């Protein structure tokens, strides 16, 4: 029973961490991620259209309307996959740039805090030696 509670507690911790990460993201990051997710769903829909087109081409005679619809579905699906893939790639690049900027800001803050800590340590060291 303790093991089950530990697992549930661990899952709750992971859930809390994921919730905190979601709320910590800037609105711009959330917007980009949402846009990427939408574009990926559109790409998947286009891939499905290609599959339907192939099925139609296989199922119908080459002179039938079903065959022609299948060919059109394949062409539209491939074009859609390409278009949505390019758009998603652009958004992913923007997202990488935002993350790189955020990392640079965090590194700058960490360096500033490190220098402040060194100043405090030097001041404390001076006070310790000055007391003798």
> In terms of residue numbers, what domain contains 99?
2-130
**What pLDDT band is residue 129 in, cutting at 50, 70 and 90?**
low
Position 4 scores a pLDDT of 47
Residue 7 has pLDDT above 50, yes or no: no
Position 2 scores a pLDDT of 45
Residue 60 DSSP class:
S
Q: What is the pLDDT of residues 32-90, one digit of tens each?
A: 999 999 999 999 999 999 999 999 999 999 899 999 999 999 999 999 999 999 999 99
Looking at the structure of the chain, the number of domains it has is 1
Radius of gyration from C-alpha coordinates of the chain? 28
DSSP 84-113: HHHHHHHHHHHHHHHHHHHHHHHHHHHHHH
Q: What is the pLDDT of residues 89-118, one digit of tens each?
A: 999 999 999 999 989 999 999 999 999 999
**Hey, how many other C-beta atoms are within 10 angstroms of the C-beta on 59?**
11
């Amino acid at each position: 029973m303790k093991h089950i509670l530990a697992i549930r507690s661990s899952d709750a911790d992971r859930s809390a961490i994921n919730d905190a990460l979601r709320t910590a993201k800037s609105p711009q990051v959330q917007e980009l991620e949402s846009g990427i997710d939408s574009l990926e769903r559109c790409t998947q829909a286009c891939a499905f259209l290609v599959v339907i087109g192939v099925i139609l081409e296989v199922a119908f005679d080459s002179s039938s309307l079903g065959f022609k619809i299948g060919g059109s579905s394949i062409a539209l699906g491939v074009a859609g996959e390409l278009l949505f893939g390019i758009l998603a790639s652009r958004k992913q690049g923007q997202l990488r740039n935002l993350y790189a900027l955020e990392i640079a800001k965090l590194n700058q803050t960490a360096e500033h805090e490190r220098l402040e800590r060194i100043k405090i340590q030097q001041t404390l060291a001076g006070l310790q030696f000055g007391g003798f």
